[in-house]
């Protein structure tokens, strides 16, 4: 079959790969669309915590496809070396769910992964309560923009969007952001804002310097009164990794740092929340812009600059 193929030290190249053979309880799926998520690039480069294993391999963590009976489903690839950037992939009953008719292949392929990251983080890890204040750190990226929308849908009383792209920040006001913080080249604005508005939950897509500035702002100096409880949910590291965390940040604050990703939440839990994401996407309550390219142009697609809030989708 035709597929995008990753070999050691190389970006994906279009070529031929052996067709998958279904094992016990597995099903072959005809791929209709698969998105280039940040996690896909990280795995292909060997930088993601889940990277490793067979090489060469086909990248791609999820997609939209057709089962043998013609059913259209969202699915996750479950067995290496077969990812979703190919004409065929593999799925199992626990790894696929039907897609609403009014969702296009491209939108469905693009929206589930980034929307799931914030939905999962807010519900299972932060255990968001109605009316709480949520800061989305890195809100101008695709996942961050969806996080703003998801936080509002899940009952946040106030959603604060922080990012560097001022034009996108203004757009986020129309997607549910109550306030916007421009990070520019310094996280100083983030520190000033916290002084007047404590955050109950921080969804962090940046890590690095912005998170260090926020953690410093949380620290109590002297015999001050008890600080507000803040749950920082780590989802991405677009601003750098690792950080240097001073022990005093934990002793002098009510900061709780949690991660959210595969391993911290079960696969069963992830697929349990996907129908809700589908429903809201189908109703237009979750929005994303897609850019479609043929799978045969994987080399160009892999390095293409995509505007914030958009996701590039490959069509086999």
The secondary element (H helix, E strand) that includes residue 74 is strand 72-76
Location of structure tokens 């996690």: 39
Question: Does residue 155 share a domain with residue 215?
Answer: yes
37 or 243: whose pLDDT is higher? Answer: 37
Determine the pLDDT at residue 300.
Answer: 96
pLDDT band at 94 (very low <50, low <70, confident <90, very high): confident
For residue 279, pLDDT beyond 70: yes
For residue 73, pLDDT beyond 80: yes
Question: Does residue 89 share a domain with residue 130?
Answer: no
For residue 168, pLDDT beyond 60: yes
pLDDT band at 229 (very low <50, low <70, confident <90, very high): confident
Q: What percent of the chain has pLDDT over 90?
A: 57
167 or 48: whose pLDDT is higher? Answer: 167
Question: Does residue 95 share a domain with residue 69?
Answer: yes
For residue 171, pLDDT beyond 70: yes
CB-facing half-sphere around the CA of 7: CA atoms within 13 A: 6
Question: Does residue 213 share a domain with residue 140?
Answer: yes
Q: Per the domain annotation, does 146 fall within a domain?
A: yes
Determine the pLDDT at residue 54.
Answer: 66
Exposed e or buried b per residue across 67-80, where buried means at least 16 C-beta atoms within 10 angstroms of its C-beta = beeeebbbbbbebe
For residue 247, pLDDT beyond 90: no
Determine the pLDDT at residue 263.
Answer: 77
Q: Per the domain annotation, does 268 fall within a domain?
A: no
Determine the pLDDT at residue 19.
Answer: 96
Q: Which domain holds residue 160?
A: 114-259
Q: What percent of the chain has pLDDT over 70?
A: 90
What is the average pLDDT across 12-31? 94
Q: What's the chain's average pLDDT?
A: 87
pLDDT band at 132 (very low <50, low <70, confident <90, very high): very high
Question: Does residue 170 share a domain with residue 61?
Answer: no
Report for 31-40, 45-54, 223-232: range of highest mean pLDDT: 31-40
Q: Which of 221, 276, 210 is nearest to 243 (CA)?
A: 210
CATH number at residue 58: 3.90.180.10
Question: Does residue 237 share a domain with residue 301?
Answer: no
283 phi-psi bin (left φ>0, alpha ψ -120 to 50, beta other): alpha
How many residues does the structure list for the chain? 316
Q: State how far the alpha carbon of 93 is from the alpha carbons of 78, 97, 185, 257, in Å.
A: 11, 8, 47, 34
Q: Per the domain annotation, does 155 fall within a domain?
A: yes
Segment among 19-33, 68-82, 191-205 with least mean pLDDT = 191-205
Determine the pLDDT at residue 36.
Answer: 96
d(CA 73, CA 51): 25
Question: Does residue 230 share a domain with residue 172?
Answer: yes
**Tally of domains within the chain:** 2
Q: Per the domain annotation, does 52 fall within a domain?
A: yes
Determine the pLDDT at residue 268.
Answer: 81
For residue 53, pLDDT beyond 70: no
164 or 70: whose pLDDT is higher? Answer: 70
Say whether 159 sits in a helix, a strand or coil: strand
Determine the pLDDT at residue 183.
Answer: 81
Contacts of 196 (CB under 8 A, 6+ apart): none
Q: Per the domain annotation, does 232 fall within a domain?
A: yes
Determine the pLDDT at residue 225.
Answer: 64
What is the average pLDDT across 159-186? 87
For residue 264, pLDDT beyond 90: no
Question: Does residue 118 share a domain with residue 76?
Answer: no
What is the average pLDDT across 275-292? 94
pLDDT per residue as tens digits for the range 54-68: 679 999 999 999 999
287 or 186: whose pLDDT is higher? Answer: 287
Pairing status of strand 2-5 against strand 13-16: antiparallel
d(CA 83, CA 77): 6
What is the average pLDDT across 186-202? 74
Segment among 99-108, 113-122, 135-144, 241-250 with least mean pLDDT = 241-250
CA angle 135, 141, 143 (to 5 degrees): 75
Q: Per the domain annotation, does 58 fall within a domain?
A: yes
């Amino acid at each position: 079959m035709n597929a995008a193929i990753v070999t050691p030290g190389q970006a994906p190249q279009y070529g031929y790969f052996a067709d998958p053979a279904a094992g016990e309880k597995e099903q072959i799926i005809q791929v209709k669309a698969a998105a280039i998520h940040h996690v896909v690039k990280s795995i292909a480069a060997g930088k993601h915590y889940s990277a490793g294993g067979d090489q060469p391999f086909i990248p791609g963590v999820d997609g939209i496809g057709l089962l043998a009976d013609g059913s259209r489903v969202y699915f996750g690839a479950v067995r290496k070396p077969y990812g979703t950037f190919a004409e065929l992939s593999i799925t199992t009953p626990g790894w696929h769910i039907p897609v609403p008719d009014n969702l296009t292949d491209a939108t469905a392929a693009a929206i589930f992964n980034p929307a799931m990251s914030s939905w999962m983080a807010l519900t299972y890890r932060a255990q968001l309560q109605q009316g709480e204040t949520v800061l989305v750190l890195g809100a101008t990226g695709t996942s961050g923009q969806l996080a703003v929308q998801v936080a509002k849908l899940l009952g946040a009383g106030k959603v604060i969007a922080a990012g560097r792209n001022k034009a996108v920040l203004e757009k986020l006001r129309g997607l549910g952001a109550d306030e916007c913080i421009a990070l520019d080249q310094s996280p100083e604005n983030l520190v000033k804002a916290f002084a007047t508005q404590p955050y109950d939950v921080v969804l962090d897509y940046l890590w690095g310097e912005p998170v260090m500035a926020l953690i410093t702002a949380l620290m109590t100096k002297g015999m001050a009164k008890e600080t507000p409880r803040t749950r920082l949910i780590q989802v991405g590291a677009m601003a750098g990794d690792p950080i240097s965390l001073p022990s005093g940040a934990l002793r002098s604050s009510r900061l709780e740092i949690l991660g959210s990703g595969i391993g911290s939440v079960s696969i069963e839990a992830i697929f349990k929340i996907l129908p809700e994401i589908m429903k809201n996407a189908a109703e237009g309550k979750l929005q994303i812009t897609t850019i479609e390219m043929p799978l045969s142009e994987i080399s160009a697609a892999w390095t293409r600059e995509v505007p914030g809030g958009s996701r590039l989708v490959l069509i086999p």
